[in-house]
Amino acid sequence: MDHRDTLYRTYASFKSWEGAAGPGDDTTYAVEVMRAGLKPRSMILEIGFGDGRFLDWVAREGHNVTGVELIEDLVISARRRGHKAFHGTAQSVLDATEDRFDLIVAFDVFEHLTADELLDLMRFAKTILAPGGRMLAQFPNGSSPFGIHIQNGDLTHMLTLTGEGMMQITHAAGMKITGVYNAARCKKGGAVHGRLKKRAGYLARDAIEVTVGFLYFGHRIPLDPNLTVIIGGT
């Protein structure tokens, strides 16, 4: 038995996902879908939706959203909140001859797959994207020393991914990367003083990123703990 099967049995409690989903950071969700060029009232699929915070947000924004998830209790919770949610992999529960989506989202999913599993998923995703559709994925940044803590903090993580590695996978699947970014940064804060400190911290991180990138690689590379990539069909 794959060790992931064993660990997923207690994954929801490990991640504190039991009960109703807590509030998400709507500002970061808005940034990410804007990068993907999301249009109003789109058909959206989220793969591995976890506690369903993004499902809740995107439904409030007026989109038609479907979710797939491996952990059955999380599917039950999402259905209770009125979502169209399925238990299993996208390949096992969706019909490539009928289902079409303007945006496919995978937050913190790709790193849980082997290279073969990810390639299979990408090939399937291409078949269910509507014309002009995009895929949005976020994962720990394998190019950054600051992503190691996240990558190694979960034993169900199988792949260490970078923007370049994702380009290789998408190319093999007949797709292409259209954007590689630091994941959208949370700008929430209570007092004005707290928000200013957060903004100053981001400016310092940007300065380090530019300096390190040009010193070692001749160009800037994202160094935040998480990466976001936007993928299109070819």
List, in order, residues 6 or more apart from 227 with CB less than 8 Å away.
138, 139, 140, 141, 143, 147, 161, 162, 163, 180, 181, 182, 183
Is residue 23 predicted with pLDDT exceeding 80? Answer: no
Question: What pLDDT is stored for residue 21 in this prediction?
Answer: 59
Share of the chain above pLDDT 70, in %: 94
Mean pLDDT for the stretch of residues 109-118? 97
Is residue 27 predicted with pLDDT exceeding 90? Answer: no
Share of the chain above pLDDT 90, in %: 85
Report the CATH number at residue 151: 3.40.50.150
Question: What pLDDT is stored for residue 20 in this prediction?
Answer: 57
Mean pLDDT for the stretch of residues 164-180? 96
Q: Is residue 201 part of a domain?
A: no
pLDDT digits (tens, 9 = 90+) for 123-142: 999 999 999 999 999 999 99
Question: How many other C-beta atoms are found inside a 10 Å radius of the C-beta of residue 97?
Answer: 8
Q: What is the 3-state secondary structure (H, E, C) of 91-132?
A: HHHCCCCCCCEEEEEEECCHHHCCHHHHHHHHHHHHHHEEEE
Which residue did the predictor score with more confidence, 140 or 188?
140
Is residue 161 predicted with pLDDT exceeding 90? Answer: yes
The two tokens of residue 178 are 């259209």
Question: What pLDDT is stored for residue 18 in this prediction?
Answer: 73
Question: What pLDDT is stored for residue 220 in this prediction?
Answer: 92
- H helix intervals, the chain: 3-8, 11-14, 26-35, 53-60, 72-80, 90-93, 115-128, 148-151, 163-172, 192-216
Mean pLDDT for the stretch of residues 174-189? 89
Structurally, the chain folds into a number of domains equal to 1
Q: Is residue 14 part of a domain?
A: yes
Asked if residues 225 and 144 have their Cβ atoms less than 8 Å apart, the reply is yes
Q: Is 78 helix (H, G, I), strand (E, B) or coil?
A: helix
Q: Is residue 212 part of a domain?
A: no
Domain that holds residue 26: 3-186+224-233
Q: Is residue 78 part of a domain?
A: yes
Question: What pLDDT is stored for residue 195 in this prediction?
Answer: 75
This prediction's pTM: 0.93
Q: Is residue 166 part of a domain?
A: yes
Binned at pLDDT 50, 70 and 90, residue 197 comes out as confident
pLDDT digits (tens, 9 = 90+) for 75-106: 999 999 999 999 999 999 999 999 999 999 99
- Gap between the Cα atoms of 100 and 117, Å rounded: 21
pLDDT mean across residues, the chain:
92
Question: What pLDDT is stored for residue 26 in this prediction?
Answer: 81
Q: Is residue 37 part of a domain?
A: yes
Q: Is residue 119 part of a domain?
A: yes
Q: Is residue 15 part of a domain?
A: yes
